[in-house]
Structure 1
Amino acid sequence: MTVTADALTGAGWYKSSYSDGHGGNCVESARVNADWFKSSYSNDTPGGDCVEGARLADGAMALRDSKDPHSPAFVFGGGAWAAFVDALNGGQL
């Protein structure tokens, strides 16, 4: 999956703690400033808060665990997200 640079506009990039100064700079992560919303399937019962989403540029979607909002998020490109939603709405999943 590829996410265009526009979908990550305003992201704060940082190196992984596993990268080093000897050619081991292999992974960077982005902190995305986004308006997160709780999934309509989450509820206020214990353990019910499970998923938050954020709409990004180009139709991309970020998802994270609402119980740990500082944890990493999964980012899906616009085409992949649209195909997933279409499959759900079509009863294919």
Structure 2
Amino acid sequence: MVSSEHIVSDSSALTGWYKSSHSGGDQGECLEVAHGYAGVPVRDSKAVTGPALVFSTGHWAAFVGAVKGGRV
């Protein structure tokens, strides 16, 4: 179960959003991540006023490492 402290209901309230330099094309299926917070906010790039999930830096680093390592 996810607690509400790990969700930002309107992600447009946060600043510093960026997409990966590997994002491309016009499919619109990208995630954005924001810098400058204790956790790592992640949102759907198509829903800029929608919710953001906030991951701990350790969990986000593990996820990125798994993706880079081909484990996801």
Structure number with higher helix proportion = 2
Q: After TM superposition, give the deviation of residue 87 of structure 1 in Å.
A: 1.2
Give the corresponding residue for 1:25.
none
Cα 1:62–1:40 change in 2 (3 A) is same
Q: After TM superposition, give the deviation of residue 63 of structure 1 in Å.
A: 1.0
Structure 2 stretches lacking a partner, 5+ long: none
For 1:67 and 1:52, locate their aligned partners in 2 and report how far apart those are by CA, in whole Å.
Answer: 9
Instruction: Choose from 58, 65, 69 the match for 1:86.
Output: 65
Bigger Rg, which one: 1
Give the corresponding residue for 1:76.
55
Q: Which has the higher contact order (CA 8 A, sep 6+)?
A: 2
**1:42·1:48 contact (CA, 8 Å) conserved in 2?**
no
Instruction: Output the TM-score relative to the length of structure 1.
Output: 0.53
Give the corresponding residue for 1:37.
18
Identity of aligned residues (%): 41
Instruction: Output the TM-score relative to the length of structure 2.
Output: 0.65
The one-letter code of the counterpart of 1:33 is L
Cα 1:29–1:68 change in 2 (3 A) is closer
Where do 4+ consecutive residues of structure 1 move more than 6 Å? Answer: none
For 2:9 and 2:47, locate their aligned partners in 1 and report how far apart those are by CA, in whole Å.
Answer: 17
Structure 1 stretches lacking a partner, 5+ long: 3-27
